[in-house]
Amino acid sequence: MPVRRLNHAVLYVRDVERSVAFYREALGFRVVMSMPGAAFLQAPASSNDHDLGLFQIGTGAGPSQAGRATVGLYHLAWEVETLDDLEQAAGKLAALGALAGSSDHSTTKALYAKDPDGIEFEVSWLVPASLLTEETLAGRARIEPLDIAREKRRYGAGTPGGVGVSIPG
């Protein structure tokens, strides 16, 4: 049975209410179910039952050492519909002090941020397959600084992004 897509992710957090407030404010997620010490959130345009589960383990929990001293998840990546949406996300994440960086991966335009527990996530817009060029495809091996204004001029501010992987059909 081939896997079709990732349905949801689950994170251990120090304070579930703090994390819920962050994901609501930063990405517009809404709580679809909660119980003491746990919450299940759905992204605004999602058809999943939930996209993110949060489980509280307490304020005494140490930071994740994944990638520094232990193996573990590096980050989750959430897709947005348009470059306008990506620009809005950049502003919101910056205002929250959560924006950690941005990159142009040629076929993917990406923001990187950290939640209140330091868990990294990505917000990205994918170049639609119909707009890919040989140059764009060749550029995937490089990481360049992201210039959202330039990308909006190139692709259009309201152009729907590709879904999943931007590769020609």
Q: Are 14 and 117 in contact (CB under 8 A)?
A: yes
Tokens for 95, please give them: 């205002």
164 has pLDDT over 80: no
pLDDT for residue 133: 86
pLDDT class of 102 with cuts at 50, 70, 90: very high
Q: Are residues 100 and 146 in the same domain?
A: yes
Q: Which residues pair with 110 in a beta bridge?
A: 103, 124
pLDDT for residue 141: 83
Tokens for 159, please give them: 């152009």
Task: Specify the length of the chain in residues.
Answer: 169
Longest dimension (CA), the chain: 52
Tokens for 15, please give them: 């304070």
Does 85 reside within a domain?
yes
Number of domains in the chain: 2
Percent of the chain with pLDDT over 70: 96
pLDDT in tens, 126-145: 999 888 888 888 888 889 99
Does 105 reside within a domain?
yes
pLDDT for residue 3: 82
Work out the average pLDDT over 94-120: 96
The CATH number linked to 20 is 3.10.180.10
Q: Are residues 44 and 83 in the same domain?
A: no
Q: Are residues 152 and 101 in the same domain?
A: yes
40: which DSSP letter?
E
Q: Are residues 41 and 117 in the same domain?
A: no
Q: Are residues 42 and 105 in the same domain?
A: no
Q: Are residues 87 and 148 in the same domain?
A: yes
How confident is the prediction for the chain on average, in pLDDT? Answer: 93
Domain span at residue 81 reads: 74-160
